[in-house]
Structure 1
Amino acid sequence: MIEGLWENIGQALAKEWTARMLTPAFAFWGGGLLAWAFRYGWGDLAAWWSARSALEQAALLVGGLLLVAFSAVVMEQFQDRLLWWAEGYGPRPLERLRFALARRWEKKAQQMEERWQELAEKCEGHPEKLSPQERAEYARLDALRLRLPVDPGRMMPTLLGNLLRAAEEHAWVRYGLEAGVCWPRLWFLLPKDVREEIAAARSRLNETTRWFGWGLLFVVWTVWAWWAAPVGLLIAGLAWQGMTRAALVYGDLVRAALDLYHPLLFEHLGWPKPKGPEDGRRLTEYLARGIRPPSL
C-alpha cells in the first residue's frame, strides 16, 4: 500500500482548516444537539443558556468550536484506517469473512467476463448489432472488467478495494514496476499539473471517507432521537457511493500517469529505455534492494 504518500498532498492549510470547521464535524455535533433537543426540548436548554453570563457564553462557544475542530482532526488522522477497512482489510478474527467475500468477487468477476465474452462474440466488434439494453450492459461490463485486478486471486472483498488494488497492480502487470517502491520516486518526476490532478482525486476520496465515518458515528445519537440511525446510515450509504466513484477516478488517473510517464523513472536513474516488464522488475529490484544488473 502507498497510502502514506498521499497524506495532505497538495492541500492548503487554510482551506483544510475551513473545511474541518464547517463540514462534516460541525454537522455531526449540530445533529447531536438537535437530537438532544428532540429528547428533552429546547426550553431547558434556552433557559440554561440565558442564565449564563456573556463571558461564559463566549467561553462555551469557543470550547464548542475547539471540540468541532479537534474531532475533525481526529477523524482526518483516522481516515486512512477507515479506508483500509472499507477496502476489505481487517483484524485477524475477521480474515475468514474477508476471504469468503473475496471469493464471491472472484466468482462475480468470472461471471462478468463470461457475459462480456458472450456479448462480444454476438456483436463481433459492432455494438450496433446488440439491443439497447445489451449495448448498455456491454459498455458497463467492458468498463468495469478493466478496472478489476487481473489476478483473480488478488480480489478484495469490496468493489472499492478492487478498484484501488487494480490501480496498484497496473504498474506491475504492464511494466514490471512495484507500485509501493516505484510510485513515490515517479511522483517527483510528474509534471505539476498531473500531480495536482491526482492529489485532488485523492483528496476527494479522503473527503468522502471522512463523511462515511461521520455518518456511521451519527448513529450514536439514536440514544436521544430515533431518526439519528436512518439519517446516519443514509449519509454513510451516500458517502460509500462517493468513495467508489472517487476511487474510480483516482485509479484511472494513476494508471494514466504510469502509462505516460513511467519511462522518466528509467531516464532519470540512467537506465536504458524499458522494452518490457522484465526491465521494470530489474529496476524495482534495484530501487528496493540496491541490486543492479551487471550490464548496467
Structure 2
Amino acid sequence: MTICGSLLGLLLQPFQVRAVRVLEGYWDRWTVTARLAGLLSRLQRRRWQALQRQAHGLEGGDTNLRVRADARRRLAAHPPPDALLPTALGNALRAGELTAGERYGLTTLSSWPRIYLQVSDRMAEVLHSARDALDTAVNLCWSFLVLAGVSVLALYDEPSAWWLCAAELLLATIAYKGAVTVAQAYSSLTHVVYDLHRFDLLDALHYPLPPDWDSEEQVFSDVSDQFAGIPREGRIYDHLGRRSRPSSPQENEKPGDV
C-alpha cells in the first residue's frame, strides 16, 4: 500500500494544479458537480454568517471576548460571502487571491506573477516551503482517497478488513485538514509579499513611487488596468530612480560627492 501511494503521488505530480483546483471546489464544468458546488457554497455562506454573528453579535463577558476574537480570526481567512467556494481549501486560497493586493489597489490575480519575481530570496524560500507543504498535503489526500476506493473494491467480501478503508478515509481527512491549514498560511504570506514588495513592482516597471496613500491607490489601480490590457495615457516613467543605486560601497564614492 505504501509503494502504491508513493507511485500515485509521482503520477499526480504533472497534474498538481488540477489536483489542487478540484479540492478547491472548481466544479462548474459538469452539471452534477455544479449543483453540488452550489449546495456546498450555500452551506459555506451559512457558516460565514454564523461567524459574522459570533464576531459582532455577542455582548459582555471575558468568554465572549475570546469567542469574538476567534470568530474574527476565522472570518479573516475567508473571502467575501459572494465569492465563497464550496470547500474550505478553496476559501482559504481565495481569501489571499482576492484581498492581498486589493488592499493597495492592485488586482492580485494579475499582479501576483509579476510581484512574485520581485520578492527577496528569503521570502521566496518561505513561499516555496509553504507551497511544497500544500502540494504534499493535497497529494496525500488524493492518494489516501484512491487507496480507499481500491480497498473497497478489493475487500468488499471481507468485512473483517473494512477497518482499513475507514482508516484510509480518516487519513485522507487529516491530510485535507492539513492542506487547509497550510493554505491559510500561504494566503497570509501573499499579504506579506504585497506589504513588503509592492514598491519593488513599481521600480521594476520604471514607475515613480507615489508620495502618499491616495496617490498609491491610484497608481496601483492604473497598473492593474495596464495588466488587464486597458490602456492608460499620461503615465510618466522613472528610468533612474532606485535602479541607479550602486552595487557596492566603493561604487558609491563618485567624484563630486559631498
Same topology, TM > 0.5: yes
d(CA) in 1 for partners of 2:50 and 2:167? 35
Structure 1 residue 251: Cα displacement: 0.9
Query: Would the aligned equivalents of 1:172 and 1:277 in 2 still touch at CA under 8 Å?
Result: no
Task: Find 2:41's aligned residue among 97, 102, 109.
Answer: 102
Could you tell me which amino acid in structure 2 is paired with residue 138 of structure 1? R
CA distance in structure 2 between the aligned counterparts of 1:293 and 1:164, rounded to whole angstroms:
34
CA distance 1:227–1:92, change in 2 (3 Å)? same
For 1:79-106, what per-residue CA distance to the aligned partner results, in whole angstroms no more than 9, with x for missing partners? 3222111111113212122122212222
Shifted more, 218-227 versus 80-89: the winner is 218-227
1:218 and 2:147 are equivalent in the alignment: yes
Partner residue in 2 for 1:197: 126
Q: Residues 164-183 of structure 1: matches in 2 within 5 Å? A: 164-183=93-112
> Quick check: 1:233 aligned with 2:169?
yes
- How do 1:256-295 residues align onto structure 2 when only pairs under 5 Å count? 256-274=192-210, 275-289=215-229, 291-295=231-235
Which residue matches 2:113? 184
CA distance in 1, matches of 2:48, 2:70: 13
The 5-angstrom pairing of residues 1-296 of structure 1 reads 27-29=2-4, 69=7, 71-90=8-27, 91-93=29-31, 94-119=33-58, 122=59, 130-132=61-63, 134-150=64-80, 152-219=81-148, 220-222=150-152, 223-224=154-155, 225-274=161-210, 275-289=215-229, 291-296=231-236
Kept in 2, the 8 Å contact 1:148–1:166? The answer is yes
Q: Match of 1:29, as an amino acid? A: C
Q: Residues 247 and 27 of structure 1: is their aligned pair in 2 closer, same or farther, counting only changes over 3 Å?
A: same
The alpha-carbon distance between structure 1 residues 172 and 102, as it changes in their structure 2 partners (threshold 3 A), is: farther
1:290 deviation in Å?
A: 6.6
Q: Is the 8 A contact 1:217 1:232 kept in 2?
A: no
RMSD in angstroms over aligned alpha carbons? 2.1
- Work out whether residues 218 and 228 of structure 1, in 8 Å CA contact, stay in contact via their aligned partners in 2: no
Judge which range, 74-83 or 242-251, deviates more: 74-83
Deviations 1:131-184 (A, max 9, x none): 33x34322211111112113x211111121111101011134312222222111
Range with greater deviation from structure 2 (267-276 or 228-237) = 267-276
Identity rate of aligned residues, in percent?
A: 26
Whichever structure has more helix as a proportion of its residues is 1
**TM-score, structure 1 length as denominator?**
0.69
- Provide structure 2 residue ranges, at least 5 long, that are not aligned to the other structure: 156-160, 237-258
CA distance in 2, matches of 1:77, 1:271: 38
Please tell me whether the aligned partners of residues 116 and 142 of structure 1 are also in contact (alpha carbons under 8 angstroms): yes
Aligned length: 223
Take 2:105 and 2:42, find their aligned partners in 1: how far apart are those partners? 26
> Which amino acid is 1:259 matched to?
D
Q: Secondary structure at the match of 1:292?
A: coil
Unaligned runs of 5+ in 1: 1-25, 31-67, 124-129
Q: Secondary structure at the match of 2:112?
A: helix
